[in-house]
Amino acid sequence: MPQKHLVHLGWLLAADTDKQSVVSVSETASERLEETLAQQFPHFHWRVDFVHRHRYAPKGSLSPLPLLELGVQEKIANHWDYVVVVVPNELLARERVHTIGVPSSALETAVLSTANLSRHDPARQMEQLMMLTLHLLGHVWGIEHCDEGPMIPPEAPQKLCYEPFPPFQQNIIVDRLEEVADQRLEEQTRQWNSAVFYWRAFWADPKSILIDIVGYAPWLLPFRMARLTAATAVSLLILLLTAEAWEMGVNLSPSRLVLGTVVAIIVATGFIFAGKNLGQISREVGWREQLTRTRLVVVGTILSGMISLWLVLFLFSLLVGWLLPEAILSRWVQINDLDRLMLFRHAAFMAMLGVLAGALGGNLEEDGAIKARLFFDEET
């Protein structure tokens, strides 16, 4: 008999409390989860680690996004395959009125709130917790809602009763987990050439990737990141009133400007992608098509966003240039007969600097909406 693959999960309690009712429930639930999964999926060797981090006060509502990010960090640090982040707080919903859990298959992480489960009957609470966890893990493993088992949409958490995954969904999950395990082994023995891999993943279905990028309306990024754009514009304003910057801008050759702009946009995209957890959409494990695709969509969205930032700053610089009195400009650039076309060159130079400055100073943190749409499978 071949050796069973290990599937290693983390159960992360992120509540700053030592209350027995919170901690022991979570710890018992992590043990129960291990038993339940071993029972339903005997093809694998299951391990569920319980970790308690005193991270968030158990009061008020929490946004799921930082919880997902915390989960990803811990997942990488502990070499887990999947992680469930549990909080006793309510979760802030974006699209729905109310949410009790957020699964993210892209991050292989799920966030779960115990706020709405039965408090007074520990046995019922454990049952509901188990069903909710299985529902979220189901999404993380890529299965859809159906009308039996844990994938029934849990509209009323009080009514959840324990049921295993129906056989057809068990098969899908086994396939998925085996695929991941195999790929992990493959990676240990063979180095993937990632550039080639991304190239292939893009050409496998370029149309749907582009449709997804358009769906995020990346041209609105400079406006959604209003603080970043404003900060960049203010620093540009100082440069726009500096004679040396004008002299340099109007004297740059168009070819250098084009090259500089392309490099600036690529560098800025890379910086924003790598700077935040965006690049850590699942660790290097599993060159799964789905994840690679998500990464391509993220990079494409940021890239288009940076191009629009460049355009906004270009128009802004051009406007300031037009508004400045010609006599002053001529003195600054030390050309008596100023060609207004030179303003375009200068504006391109300014926009290029602005994009670089913006990328170094900012990130997508302010734009939770984009991240949420990229990473959340649903609000349960």
User: By the criterion CB under 5 A, which residues form the site for Zn ion?
Assistant: 380
Nearer to Zn ion, 154 or 362 (CB): 154
CA distance 224 to 226: 5
Choose between 15 and 372: whose C-beta lies nearer to Zn ion: 372
CB of 117 to Zn ion, least distance (A): 16
Taking alpha carbons only, the member of 162, 106, 107 closest to residue 130 is 162
Polymer length of the chain? 380
C-alpha to C-alpha distance for 49 and 30, rounded to whole angstroms: 7
Residue 133 C-beta: closest distance to Zn ion, Å = 12
Which pairing describes strands 44-56 and 61-62: parallel, antiparallel, or unpaired? unpaired
Q: What string of H, E and C letters represents the secondary structure of 137-194?
A: HHHHCCCCCCCCHHHCCCCCHHHCCCCCCCHHHHHHHHHHHHHHHHHHHHHHHCCCCH
- With beta carbons less than 8 A apart as the criterion, state whether 131 and 152 touch: no
Angle at 70 between CA 65 and CA 71, to 5 degrees: 95
What is the CA 345 to chain-centroid distance, rounded?
36
Nearer to Zn ion, 149 or 249 (CB): 149
Nearest in space to 22 (alpha carbons), one of 63, 57, 49, 47: 57
Instruction: Decide whether 153 or 215 has the Cβ nearer to Zn ion.
Output: 153
CB of 257 to Zn ion, least distance (A): 50
Q: Which is nearer to Zn ion, 172 or 210 (CB)?
A: 172
- Least Cβ distance, residue 171 to Zn ion (angstroms): 19
- Rg (alpha carbons) of the chain, rounded to whole number: 26
Other C-beta atoms closer than 10 Å to the C-beta of 325 total: 8
Distance CA 112, CA 129 (A): 9
Cβ proximity to Zn ion: between 96 and 207 the closer is: 96
In the complex, the smallest distance separating the C-beta of residue 143 from Zn ion, rounded to whole angstroms, is 10
Pairing of strands 5-15, 44-56: parallel
Contacts with 234 (C-beta within 8 Å, 6 or more apart), sequence order: none
Nearer to Zn ion, 277 or 380 (CB): 380
Q: Nearer to Zn ion by C-beta: 33 or 100?
A: 100
Please report, as a single letter, which amino acid is at residue 81: D
Cβ proximity to Zn ion, 282 vs 380, nearer residue: 380
Pairing status of strand 109-113 against strand 101-104: antiparallel
The residue type at 55: R
